[in-house]
Structure 1
Amino acid sequence: MSFLQVNHLEVTFGLRNGAVKALRDISFSLERGERIGIVGESGAGKSVAAFAVINLLSRPGYISAGEVLFEGRDLAQLSPREMRSIRGNRIAMIFQDPMMTLNPVLTISQQMVECLQAHRNISRRDARAIAVEKLKQVQIPSPEKRLDQYPHELSGGMRQRIIIAIALLMDPALIIADEPTTALDVTIQAEIMELLLELCASNNVGLMLITHDLGIVSQVTERAIVMYAGRIIETGPTKEIINDGQHPYTQGLINALPQQTVPGHRLNQIPGSMPSLQDIPAGCAFNPRCDFVMDICKSEIPGFTRSGGCSVACHMVQAMVESARQEI
């Protein structure tokens, strides 16, 4: 069994005018030390998938079907007390806005020491020593001094490094990073992602990276999962998806990258927008925006077809693969 195995996961939000499904039939796995990226536009369901994995969904959202097996235990079935022993301990999460994560009225030391003492029976002195060591790991200069500072006294890049240090406090087996570089400038983004990659590799930590940036995914992850309207529509080795994306939506994301555009010309974009969860089109949810739409796309949800090293949920790809097999 895989280190993390998500099987047919479904997340529902109960609203006044009826329940809506934010995730539909999500299945993927992650091996120890492996790095995967989950990509898609805003509203694709990336962050909901991350919160569902650590069972951190707040009402009216809830896991309505499926299972999340982590080290053999179904996290969806654990009690809040049992989950607290896993969250922050075996699984750590890095959120996209460090100022929303860090408590502005507590020093960095107070926050790191409290985190350690919540999970381990150690003294404040020993906890502070561990905190200093973790700050050194994430290349924070003068770590003893930084511990006694408040979040507002640090730069954005420094705060994000602090968040990574806090995530590493318990030596987790898995880190979930939800858009960890969104609020940072490009040079700091590169430094943070390089640091995260180095730390995961040196500590054999699994990484689940949630992002809309295919450029970051191509540099950091080994496998990629492309989501659209709450479903996985393509998954496979990152290099293969970046170099030869099969699903029209994946191709649209790649073509929208700035480096794919001739200088001085308008950026490429996918026409239309992500559908509302309350108004998902019948059949393939991408069909209103797709240049290759067929009649079947408007009535039947496509199953996965193996194409190269990737699995693709697309009727067009399925037809092409079957046609190629008949020619052989």
Structure 2
Amino acid sequence: MNLLSVSNLNVNFHLKGQDLAALIDVSFTLNRGERVAIVGESGAGKSVLGFSIVNLIDKPGYIKSGSIKLDNKEITKMTRPQLQEVRGKRIAMIFQDPMMTLNPVLTIGAQLVEAIRSHTRISFKDAKNIAIEKLHSVQIASPEKRFHQYPHELSGGMRQRVIIATVLLLNPDIIIADEPTTALDVTIQAEIIQLLLDICRNNSMALLLISHDLGVVSRIAERTIVMYAGRVVEEGPTLEIINDPQHPYTQGLLNALPQMALPGQRLNQIVGSMPPLNERPTGCAFHPRCPYATDQCRQQQPGFINSGVSTVACFMVEDMLTDTNSDYDEEID
């Protein structure tokens, strides 16, 4: 049985008298200890998906339909007390800006102890010992000293380690990391990614990594889900996605990586931009930016097909597979 199962999830935002779709028929699963990445540009729906999983979509957003199950228990139907048991204890989130998460007027220790004691009935002393142990586990030097410091006294990388330590306090089954390295320099990014990888491996925790950077994803995720304009357009093993991307959008994301350009050469980019919610085109939403778009792409939404070990929603790939199968059948005849 899957640890987390998302089925046909639709999330809307009610803005200026319109119901605008932010997520459309999103489905995927996450197994215990598995590391899955959600990839796409800003506006693809990645963060909305992350917040939906823990039922934290604020108005004017709302879950219109679909299912989100944790151990076969429906999260979308849970009461506030039931959600309190899920958030932090079963599913925890790491955000890209730690200063938006940490309280600037409380010490690191006060915040860690409060997080522990809000979910468990233990003494301050025991909670302090757990907090210091978790700070040590995320490779923070002198954790006893950091316990008494305020967030502004720590570097950006150190603050992100504190957030990871906070997430680990209650030993959750799933960590949702929303662009956890965006605000950090390259060296610190690598350290944080390696730390997340080690934590998940050592504790059998599942990881849902939300990112726009396929370079980061390639280092940590076993499976990758590519999103565009609120829909999943490709899903498969990360190595397959990186080495043999099927969807033109995935190909564009990979070609835009800095290492894909020669020294002194201009970086590649996907022409155009992600459509806003109220201007999503008919058919395949990527067709205005796709070099292979046809009239069919402009008029119809492609369904999912299997291509190797990946699944992809693209008429071009479907036509290529159909032609290949036809040629194969003719050879057999």
1:83-111 CA deviation, whole Å, 9 max, x = no partner?
A: 01110111110000000100000001110
* CA shift for structure 1 position 323: 1.0
Aligned twin of 2:331: none
Aligned twin of 2:269: 269
Aligned twin of 1:135: 135
Distance 1:169 1:130 in 2: 7
Distance 1:276 1:96 in 2: 22
Aligned twin of 1:43: 43
Distance 2:226 2:86 in 1: 27
SS in 1 for 2:293: coil
Question: For residues 20-99 of structure 1, what are the structure 2 equivalents within 5 Å?
Answer: 20-99=20-99
* CA shift for structure 1 position 80: 1.6
Distance 1:265 1:302 in 2: 35
SS in 1 for 2:86: coil
Between the two proteins, the alignment pairs up a number of residues equal to 328
Q: Does 1:9 align with 2:9?
A: yes
Distance 1:262 1:187 in 2: 22
Listed as ranges, the gaps of 5+ residues in structure 1 are: none
Distance 2:232 2:288 in 1: 17
Aligned twin of 1:243: 243
Distance 1:291 1:134 in 2: 49
Distance 1:195 1:265 in 2: 33
What is the TM-score of this pair, normalised by structure 1?
0.99
Distance 2:220 2:78 in 1: 31
Distance 2:212 2:125 in 1: 41
Listed as ranges, the gaps of 5+ residues in structure 2 are: 329-333
Aligned twin of 2:120: 120
Distance 1:273 1:155 in 2: 34
Q: Does 1:303 align with 2:303?
A: yes
Distance 2:110 2:62 in 1: 32
Distance 1:300 1:23 in 2: 18
Question: For residues 154-173 of structure 1, what are the structure 2 equivalents within 5 Å?
Answer: 154-173=154-173
Question: For residues 102-113 of structure 1, what are the structure 2 equivalents within 5 Å?
Answer: 102-113=102-113
1:190 alignment partner AA: A
Aligned twin of 2:198: 198
SS in 1 for 2:118: helix
Distance 2:199 2:276 in 1: 38
Q: Does 1:174 align with 2:174?
A: yes
* CA shift for structure 1 position 17: 2.8
2:304 alignment partner AA: F
SS in 2 for 1:188: helix
1:233 alignment partner AA: V
Distance 1:317 1:22 in 2: 25
2:11 alignment partner AA: V
SS in 2 for 1:85: helix
* CA shift for structure 1 position 53: 0.6
1:10-50 CA deviation, whole Å, 9 max, x = no partner?
A: 00111123110100000000100000000100000000000
Distance 1:79 1:316 in 2: 45
Aligned twin of 1:150: 150
SS in 1 for 2:67: strand
Aligned twin of 1:222: 222
Distance 1:30 1:326 in 2: 35
Of all paired residues, the percent bearing the same amino acid is: 59
1:177-227 CA deviation, whole Å, 9 max, x = no partner?
A: 000001100000000000010000000000000000100100000000000
What is the TM-score of this pair, normalised by structure 2?
0.98
Aligned twin of 2:213: 213
* CA shift for structure 1 position 250: 0.3
Aligned twin of 1:290: 290
SS in 2 for 1:110: helix
Distance 1:276 1:130 in 2: 45
* CA shift for structure 1 position 327: 1.1
* CA shift for structure 1 position 326: 1.0
2:72 alignment partner AA: G
* CA shift for structure 1 position 169: 0.2
1:26-83 CA deviation, whole Å, 9 max, x = no partner?
A: 0000100000000100000000000001111111111101000111111111012210
Distance 2:92 2:182 in 1: 19
Q: Does 1:252 align with 2:252?
A: yes
Aligned twin of 2:312: 312
Distance 1:80 1:10 in 2: 21
SS in 2 for 1:119: coil
Aligned twin of 2:233: 233
